[in-house]
Structure 1
Amino acid sequence: MPATLTSAASGALVDQEGFVAAAAAVGELVLGASALAALDAFAVDAGPAGSLLLSGLDVGEVPATPATPTEATGKDVRSELVLLAAARRLGEPVGYRPEHGGSIVQNLVPTRDAIGRQTSTSSGVDLGFHTETAFHPHRPRYLLLLCLRGDPAASTTLASIDDLLPALDAATVAELRQPSFRTGVDESFGGRPEVPVGPPRPVLAGRDDALELCWDAELTVGETDAARAALVALADAVARRQRHLVLASGDLLVVDNARCVHGRSPFSARFDGTDRWLQRSFVVEDLAPSAADRDGRVITTDVAALV
C-alpha cells in the first residue's frame, strides 16, 4: 500500500464516517478483486457454512500485542483499512456505545482481569456459542474478525443452522420456533446476564428453507419446560456438529450473525506482547432501523430499559 494512502486514512481517523469512506475507496487495492467478489457473493448467499474465510490479507507491520483493547499501539492503519473495506462492502459498519466506546474497529486481546470470564478478552475458558448481541434490537447482520497475530491453541468455533438442523428432530425445531425464549444482556454491555430482557422471542425464525438463529448458550433461557428442553437439545447439537478454525495473521473471518453462532476455545495467554490479537467490526444491512438509537455510526440503545 502506498504511504500516501496510509497517511490519508490516518487523517480520517478523527472522523468515523471519513475513515469508512477512505476504506471503501481503496477496497480493491487493500483486498483485491477476488476477495471483493467473494464478499459480494457471501452477501447474497452465505451458503451452508454461514461464514467466509479470506486468507493472505496484508495487515501491515504488527507491533507487540497491547495489554488492553484500548491501549495505544502506534501501529499504522493498514489492518483497519482492510477490515473496514470488507465491512463496507457487506453493508454499514457500526459500533455499540457500551463496547469500546462505540469504536467501529475493536481490538480483541486477552486481558489479565478477564481470564475466566465470558467476554471477548477472556482466554482461560471456552467462550460459549452465541449470536453476537443476541439480546439487542439492532444486532449486527455480520461479524468480521481480522487476525493480526494468531495462536495455534486458540480455535474459533462455528455452528451454522445448516450444520445443526440434521441433529434436531422436528419437535425440537417446532419448539424453538415458539416465542418462548428471552436473553440476558452480556456483561460487556454493562448488563446483568442472569436477567433476561425484552419480550419472549423464538430462537429459530423464518422460512423453513431459510431459517435464522438467535441464541446465546450462556444468556438465553426458556420460559417453559418444553422451551428449556429444546435449548438442551440445541446445545447438544452444537456440541456434536461444531466446526473449529484456527486463525492466522492475515485471515479475515466473516460470520453471518443470523445464520451461524460462534465461540472460542480456551488458550494460555502469556501477557508478553506475543498473544493472539484480532480486530473486530460489526455490520448492519441498513442504518435506518436504528436511527432513533444511533449517533452517527454508534448505536446507543439503553439495553437496561429493555427489561
Structure 2
Amino acid sequence: MVIAVTWDPAVAEPEPSSAVPGSEPFVAEAEVLGRTLPPTVRSALLRMVDSPPREGAILVRGVPVGELPPTPATPTEPTTKDHVSELVLTAVARTLGEPVGYRPEHGGDLVQNLVPTVAGADRQVSTSSRVDLAFHTETAFHPHAPRFLVLLCLRGHPDARTTLCSVHDLIDALDGDTISVLRQARFVCGVDESFLDDARTALASTERRSGSVSAASTGPLGPRGPFPVIGGTADRPTLWYDADLMRGTDPAAQAALDRLDRAVADHHRSVVLEAGDCLVVDNTAAVHGRSSYQARFDGTDRWLQRAFVVTDLDESAADRDGRIIQTLFA
C-alpha cells in the first residue's frame, strides 16, 4: 500500500488565480498557498523531502481540482478550465522544492496535461492507453532529472492502475551478488523519444534485449552512461531504471538487469487514481508505470496533470532559462 493522507475538507478551495500558470507570479502565489495547506498534508510533503517512506511515494486524497471542462483531445489543446488544479499542484510542487519544466516536454510547461491520444495509444509515452507504460525513473537519462514527480488526477479511469516499485522492495527481493553488480557503472540508458528532434529517432527499445553493447558506444542519439542502477547508501539507496530504454554493457550486467526486471514485476504495488488524488513519487527511490486501459476519446477520458520538482535550481543553471531546462540530446 501507498501511505495516504486526506485533504481536510474544512480547508476552503483556493480561488482561481488570475496569473498565467507557470509564470513567476503564479509560482509565487502557489508558494503562499503552500504555506496554508492542510497541516497533515504539508507535514507529509515535508517528510517526503527529508525522510521519504520506504514506499517512495505518498498519496493525498480529496485535493480540490476546480470546475472541469471535457478532457482535451491532446495535452496541449487549449481548455477553458479555471486554474484551481494548476495552482494546487504547483503549491504541492513548491512545498517539495522547485518546480521546473523540460523544453521537449510540452514546451517546458510547469503543469502538463496527461491525456490519452489516438496517435500515442500504442507507444511508450505518457499519452498511451492500449499498452502498459513500462516501469521507469522519470527521465533516467537526463543530467537534471527531477527529484519528485507529482501527479494530480482530475478525471480517473477504473482500469488505469498507476504502478510503483521502491528501491527498498527490490533490495529486499534481490540477492547480494545481483545488487553488487547493479551498484556498478555498467548500465546505459537510451534517450526518450520525446526529448529528441522529430527528424531523429530514439534508441530503439527492441535493442534493449538484443544483446550487450560496449559502454563506449554512446553518442548524441546513443545511450547515456554508463552509470549504476542502484546507488546511494544502505540507509538511503537510490534507483535509476528504465525497463524500456536501459541495458547492461556486458552479459553479467544484462543478466543482473534481467533479474531486476523480474523483481519489479513481482514486487510492485498499484493504485487507481481517482479525481482529487495527488500522487507524489520520489523519483530517486521509486519507479512508476501504468497499466493499459480502454480510452474513449469522447471528452470523458482519464486526465492527469503533472509537475516535476528539483531540490536545487543552481545545478541546472547552465541549461536552464527561468524554470525551463533546455538540455539538448539531438
Q: Same fold (TM over 0.5)?
A: yes
CA deviation map 1:101-121 (0-9, x unaligned): 000000000000011000000
Q: Which blocks of at least 5 consecutive residues in structure 2 are unaligned?
A: 1-11, 205-220
1:38 to 44, 64, 68: 44
Match of 1:300 in 2: 326
Q: Which blocks of at least 5 consecutive residues in structure 1 are unaligned?
A: none
The percentage of counterpart residues that share the same residue type is 56
Match of 2:312 in 1: 286
Match of 1:171 in 2: 177
Match of 1:221 in 2: 247
CA deviation map 1:118-154 (0-9, x unaligned): 0000000000000000000000000000000000100
Q: Relative to 1, partners in 2 of residues 1:2 and 1:49: Cα closer, same or farther, differing over 3 Å?
A: closer
CA deviation map 1:145-202 (0-9, x unaligned): 0000000100000000111112110000000011111100111112513354333111
Q: Which amino acid aligns with 1:152?
A: P
Distance 1:111 1:61 in 2: 22
1:54 to 38, 51, 60: 60
Shift of 1:10: 2.2
Per residue, is there more helix in 1 or in 2? 1
Q: Which amino acid aligns with 2:203?
A: P
CA deviation map 1:27-51 (0-9, x unaligned): 255x422211110111111111000
Q: Which amino acid aligns with 1:100?
A: H
Matched, 1:232 2:258: yes
Matched, 1:24 2:31: yes
CA deviation map 1:246-302 (0-9, x unaligned): 000000000000000000000000000000000000000000010000000000001
Partner SS state of residue 19, structure 2: helix
Q: Which amino acid aligns with 1:206?
A: G
Q: Which amino acid aligns with 1:110?
A: P
* Map 1:1-307 → 2, pairs under 5 A: 5-6=15-16, 9-13=17-21, 16-29=23-36, 31-190=37-196, 192-194=202-204, 195-304=221-330
Are 1:196 and 1:220, in contact at CA under 8 Å, matched by a contact in 2? no
Are 2:203 and 2:223, in contact at CA under 8 Å, matched by a contact in 1? no
Partner SS state of residue 90, structure 2: helix
CA deviation map 1:58-88 (0-9, x unaligned): 1111110000001111000000011000000
Are 1:196 and 1:219, in contact at CA under 8 Å, matched by a contact in 2? no
Partner SS state of residue 87, structure 2: helix
Partner SS state of residue 283, structure 1: strand
Q: How many residues align?
A: 299
| RMSD (CA atoms) | 1.3
Q: Relative to 1, partners in 2 of residues 1:222 and 1:196: Cα closer, same or farther, differing over 3 Å?
A: farther
